Chains A and B, each alone.
Chain A
C-alpha cells in the first residue's frame, strides 16, 4: 500500500498554483494539512451535514410527540390514532420518517464501510440496506394513510 499524498513537488495543485516547493508544508507528504491532495467522491460533507440536519428534525419531532403524549396522557386507541388522523400530522410524520430513513442510511453505510472489508459483501450489504429502507418508506406511507 502506498501512503496517501504524494512526494513533495509532485502535487498537481502545487504545479498549477505555481507556489514554490520550499514554502509548501512538509505535511503535504503525509497527506494531511492545508496542502494535502484532496481525493474522493466528495459526498462526505453533504452526508455529514444531512446526518446532522436529519438528527435535528428527528429530535424535534420525537420531543414534540413525547410532549403531546405526556400532556394528553391519553394512551387509548382513540387518543393515539386520533393523533395521527389529521393530514398535517401524517405529512409531518412522513417527513420525520424520511429523515429517519436517510439518517439510518448514512449511519449504516458508515458501519458497513468501516467493518466489511470484502468489496462484494460490502456492495451486497449496501444494496440490501437501500432496498430495505425504501421498503420501510413505502410501508410507513401505508401505515400512516390507513388511519
Chain B
C-alpha cells in the first residue's frame, strides 16, 4: 500500500461527519433555508397526523345540512380553532416551501444568495397568510 491520497489525510484532520440526534437540533443555529427545511418536515408530519381530523371535518361538511351545522358548532370551540390554525399553518408552510423546492429542483435560484432570499420569502409569505387566516377564525374580523 502506498501513501494514502491527500484528500484522505484532509478528511482525517476534519471532524468526522455524523448525523445529529433530533434533540440536538435546538443547540444548532440554522440558516433560513435550514428552518424552512425542518419546518417542511414538521408541517408534513403534522398534516399526516391531522389527516383523520381533517377527513372527519370534510365528511361532516359534505354529509348533510345537519352535519354541516354540527361542523360549524364543533369549529366554534377554542381548542378546535387552535388545532385548525395549526393545520392551516402546516398546510401553508408545506405548500409555499414545496413550491420553493420544486423551483430548486428545476435549478431556479440555487445559488447561495438567491436560496437564502427565497427561504426568507417562504417564511414571509406563509406566516402572514397564517395570521390572515387566524383573524376570521378567531372572530377578529
From B22, B51, B105, give the contact of A52 (CB < 8 A): B105
Chain A residues, Cβ within 8 Å of B48? 104, 107-108
Asked if B140 is an interface residue, CB under 8 A from chain A, the answer is: no
Complex formed: what's the CA distance from A139 to B63 in Å? 13
Pick from B76-84, B95-103, B110-118, B120-128 the stretch touching chain A.
Answer: B95-103
The answer to whether A52 and B102 touch (CB under 8 A), given A80-B61, A107-B48, A108-B45, is: yes
> Is A70's CB within 8 Å of the partner chain B?
no
B51 touches A143 (CB 8 A): no
Which listed residue (B45, B52, B58) contacts A111, Cβ 8 A?
B45
- When the two chains form their complex, are residues A136 and B51 in contact, meaning their CB atoms are under 8 A apart? yes
Contact A146 B62 (CB under 8 A): yes
Q: Type the 1/0 row for A72-92, where 1 means its CB is closer than 8 Å to any CB of B.
A: 000001001100100000000
B22-A115 in contact (CB<8A): yes
How many Å from the CB of A34 to the closest CB on chain B?
Answer: 15
Interface check A147, CB cutoff 8 A: yes
CA distance A126 to B44 in the complex (A): 16
- Inter-chain contact total with CB atoms closer than 8 Å: 54
Assess the B55–A140 pair: CB atoms within 8 A: yes
Q: Quick check: is B73 within 8 A (CB to CB) of the other chain?
A: no
**Partner of B58 from A62, A104, A107, A143 at Cβ < 8 Å:** A143
Shortest distance from the beta carbon of B104 to any chain A beta carbon, whole Å: 11
Q: Chain A CB within 10 Å — which of B5, B48, B52, B95 has the most?
A: B48
Among B5, B51, B68, contact of A26 (Cβ-Cβ < 8 Å) = B5
- Residues of chain B with a CB closer than 8 A to A21's CB: none
Q: Pick from A62, A107, A146, A147 the residue with the most CB of B within 10 Å.
A: A107
A107 neighbours in B (Cβ, 8 Å):
41, 44-45, 48
Q: Hey, which bits of chain A sit against chain B, CB under 8 A?
A: 26, 52, 55-56, 59, 62, 77, 80-81, 84, 104, 107-108, 111, 115, 136, 139-140, 143-144, 146-147
List 24 A-B residue pairs with CB atoms under 8 Å apart, sorted by A's residue number: A26-B7, A52-B105, A56-B102, A59-B95, A59-B98, A77-B61, A77-B68, A80-B62, A80-B68, A81-B62, A81-B68, A84-B62, A104-B47, A107-B41, A107-B44, A111-B44, A136-B51, A136-B52, A136-B55, A139-B59, A140-B58, A143-B59, A143-B63, A146-B62
